Amino acid sequence: MLMKSGVLPVLVERLATSNSLQLLIPEAAWVLSNIAAGSIEHKQLIYYTEALPLLLHVLSLAPFDIREEVAYVLGNICVAPTEGDGKPNLIVEHLVSLVQKGCLSGFIDLVRSADTEAARLGLQFMELK
């Protein structure tokens, strides 16, 4: 249903914006982080589209507040919904791929920030195993 709605291509287009619509990038990332927090199918929709390279690019170059929101998206696509024990299950393929594509430096930058929420987010990603 999400793919049929056509919302994902619009959100990806917003991530790639370099003009006055740049104000929409954090909002697009926020919506993508909510989608990525959903089912495995939702995570795969983001992972297997042109959204992933854009997210990695934004994580490394965007202003801090946008990078933080993108970090939520990337973290969410690496963790499957929890089951009875409440402990998240990793989607190892996604995690390994993101690390191989160089996302760790973006998360390390978050850890080094003075923003405690961002630092926590960076640490949580690096603790995934």
pLDDT in tens, 9-60: 888 887 776 654 567 788 889 999 999 999 999 999 999 999 999 999 999 9
Is the C-alpha dihedral spanning 110, 105, 7, 90 positive or negative? negative
> pTM of the full predicted structure?
0.86
Confidence of residue 65 (pLDDT cuts 50, 70, 90): confident
Q: Classify residue 45 as left (phi > 0), alpha (psi -120 to 50) or beta.
A: alpha
Report whether 55 contacts 102 (CB < 8 A): no
d(CA 26, CA 33): 10
Give me the domains of the chain, ranges plus CATH numbers: 2-127 (1.25.10.10)
